[in-house]
Homo-oligomer: A and B are copies of this chain.
Amino acid sequence: MRVAEIDTPALVVDLERMERNVAAMSRFFADKRAKLRPHWKTPKCVEVAQRQLAAGAIGITCAKLGEAEALAAGGVRASVLIANQLVGGAKLARLIELAQVLPELVVAVDSADQVDALDAALGGARSPAPRLGALVEVDTGMHRCGTSTAEQTVALAGRLRASRVAYRGVMGYEGHAVLVADAAKRKELAEAAAAALCAHVDALRAAGLAPEIVSSGGTGTFDLTGTVPGVTEIQAGSYVFMDGRYREVRSDFELALSLHTTVIHRRGRLVVTDAGVKSLSSDFGLPVALDLGARVVGLSEEHGHVLLDEGVDVSPGQRIRILPSHGDTTINLHDRYYAARGDSVEAVWAIVGRGRFV
């Protein structure tokens, strides 16, 4: 199939650009002590994970249990970190099942109740119980989840060590820094977050609880936190495709994902496409058109409203490529990628780990 024959709206991956992004990140980590465990909440695609692992990633980071289940269902047998708290009996039962399948599975905890619940779930597992690891999540400034003080972190690490759960280390995600466009400000925030994380690591060492894993970093900060002594792995995910928001933050990766749309109506300089908010997320604001001197000025459910530059000629039936403002949430609206090399569709890849995968 040619790219021009794909029915729209459709997410199209530019394979050459994606491969260069994967290779560039691989080169960065080749001589670093920290390694890459790319975040799968961006691509949600087994074929992308396989390419990242083949390029040297030490495992995969997931945002929720359902993503890790989808990876496993797709045949991936890598080390997986679920960088989130899992709460509730149904989730923990699923987690124990998944731990039987994956070679290594690690989750985040930030409360004693969670440690106790994981311990009890392992205690109730059919024999032999699987190995399940945990990191203590530290709040390094984002103020979402995580421990606030080193004392809390040490206490949780000790509680893990005394439990059936394998204590593996700590994580701290500087989500408040990764998208800051001002490079100096981003560096300042990332360094402060890394310093906070390292203070917890020092306290753990002093308590005889030296962490094996210290996980941090995103696409906006991987080169800042990924070179901090003591940090062992980085969770960056968006670099693989990039998006409109990250384009404002860094220029060392290529735009590898676009939504192909078809113009269905024209009224002067305004055209209407077949892609609205049910195909393009707006949580990071309106996306931008990549062609034709066109600007997206509004989205209804199944229509995109695009304003053409003066003198631009576009007719119904023509295509306009849109750069998602937020790749992660736009991808979450779709079931498949068209993976293209030049004008040829080389493969159709399933997008999984969404919807029923909670």
> What are the 5 tightest A-B residue pairs by CB atom distance, in nearest-first order?
A335-B355, A7-B90, A335-B356, A85-B264, A145-B265
Number of copies: 2
A residues near B (Cβ < 8 Å) are 5-10, 41, 63-64, 84-88, 90-91, 94, 110-111, 113-114, 143-145, 148, 175, 262-265, 267, 272, 274, 277-279, 281-283, 299-303, 305, 316-317, 328-329, 332-336, 351, 354-356, 358
What is the distance, in angstroms, from A69's C-beta to the closest C-beta of chain B? Answer: 11
Partner of A262, one of B88, B111, B282, B316: B88
Residues from chain B with a CB closer than 8 A to the CB of A90 are 5-7
**Which chain B residues lie closer than 8 Å to A114 at the CB level?**
316
Of B86, B278, B358, which one neighbours A329 at CB under 8 angstroms? Answer: B278
Q: Which residue of B lies closest to A7 (CB)?
A: B90
A155: min CB distance to chain B, Å: 16
Please give, as numbers and ranges, the residues of chain B lying within 8 Å of A8 by CB-CB distance. Answer: 88, 358
Give Cα A77 to B262, complex, Å. Answer: 29
With both chains docked as a complex, state the minimum distance between the C-beta of A325 and any C-beta of chain B, in angstroms.
Answer: 12
Is there contact, CB below 8 Å, between B85 and A265?
A: yes
* Docked CA distance A7–B328 (Å): 23
Q: What are 30 A-to-B residue pairs whose CB atoms are below 8 Å? A: A7-B90, A9-B358, A10-B358, A41-B301, A41-B302, A84-B264, A85-B265, A86-B264, A87-B274, A87-B317, A88-B262, A110-B265, A143-B267, A144-B265, A144-B303, A145-B264, A145-B265, A145-B272, A148-B267, A175-B300, A277-B283, A277-B329, A278-B332, A279-B358, A282-B282, A283-B299, A301-B328, A334-B356, A335-B355, A351-B355
